[in-house]
Amino acid sequence: MRRFRTSVLVSARSPAPTGPGGGLLPVRELAVAWSLVVLITVPAWVLTVGQAQDMGVEPGTMGLALPLFLLLWVAMTAAMMVPSMAPVALTWVRGLGRRSSGWSRAGHVLEFVGGYLLVWTAFGLLAYVALDFTGGVVADHPAAGRWVGAVAFLLAGLYQLGPLKNVCLRHCRDPMSQLVRYAGFRQPARDLRVGLHHGGYCVGCCAGLMVVLVPLGVMNVAAMAGLAVVIFVEKLWSRGPLLAGVVGVVFLVLAGLAPFQDWLLPGLQESAPSMSNM
């Protein structure tokens, strides 16, 4: 335990993985690590885009049963979130390398990733309920979709500007101090707990951004790509908190426009065509 804590403390003095020189890992290991990130992210995007082309952008859950929805949700989460959480994951893996190797290290990494995705899967349950509700509202009262969209943008904007967003974003932008804290976690299932803990903060950081998928469409590839870029920049750019505030203001503006601009609400219109038919 003491040796692992020391290794993390040493890492804490190094620049972030995306900083000059990639100080957290040797250049060769850093290149391999980011290659693995690409290998995870690209297939996730391919699966997500393929499903979006088949399903189109429609209100609600698009008729998906909960298990299939969660499967697609996890794939979408991996596509959007893995690049931005890579610095924390890479740093944790480096610490693992000092106390394990081979299959043992792989098991620890799987626990970490499993915990992270488990939190996002739980959030997916909430998303399913929200989408099912909004889909029912739009089906019964099509005109209400404008106000549902306005409320979604309003909530997203207020969240982006709120204190919980700032707390969670600060956590995600400062992985070193958190990893020092994680080094004090004890077994059993320490790596799973680390993944759950970091995943919780990640959900807290991105929850407002994900809310806008209600009016924009949960399978809207353009919206997902745009949000993925925002998430990545918020967490890794030196002025990420400023971007978070700007995005919040933009959402508030869209909340005012939504009742009068149907083009802002593709995810709340029954007639929205699929991408393959556009």
d(CA 207, CA 224): 13
**Which spans in the chain are helix H?**
2-12, 27-55, 66-96, 102-140, 145-160, 163-173, 175-182, 190-211, 213-216, 221-236, 240-257
Q: DSSP label at 22?
A: G
Tokens 């005109």 identify what position? Answer: 143
Three-class DSSP category at 14: coil
Side-chain-facing half-sphere of 106: CA atoms under 13 Å:
3
pLDDT in tens, the chain (278 residues): 444 444 444 333 333 434 333 344 556 655 656 676 777 788 888 888 888 887 777 787 888 889 999 999 999 988 898 888 777 777 766 665 555 555 555 677 778 888 888 999 999 999 999 999 998 888 888 888 899 999 999 999 999 999 999 999 998 887 667 667 766 666 677 778 888 888 999 999 999 999 999 999 888 999 999 999 999 999 888 899 999 999 999 999 999 999 998 888 998 886 544 444 43
Please give the structure tokens belonging to residue 210. 């994900």
Residues 6+ apart with CB under 8 A from 136: 60
d(CA 242, CA 204): 17
Is the CA virtual torsion 73, 79, 82, 84 positive or negative? negative
Q: DSSP label at 220?
A: -
The verdict on pTM exceeding 0.85 is no
Q: Are 120 and 81 in contact (CB under 8 A)?
A: yes
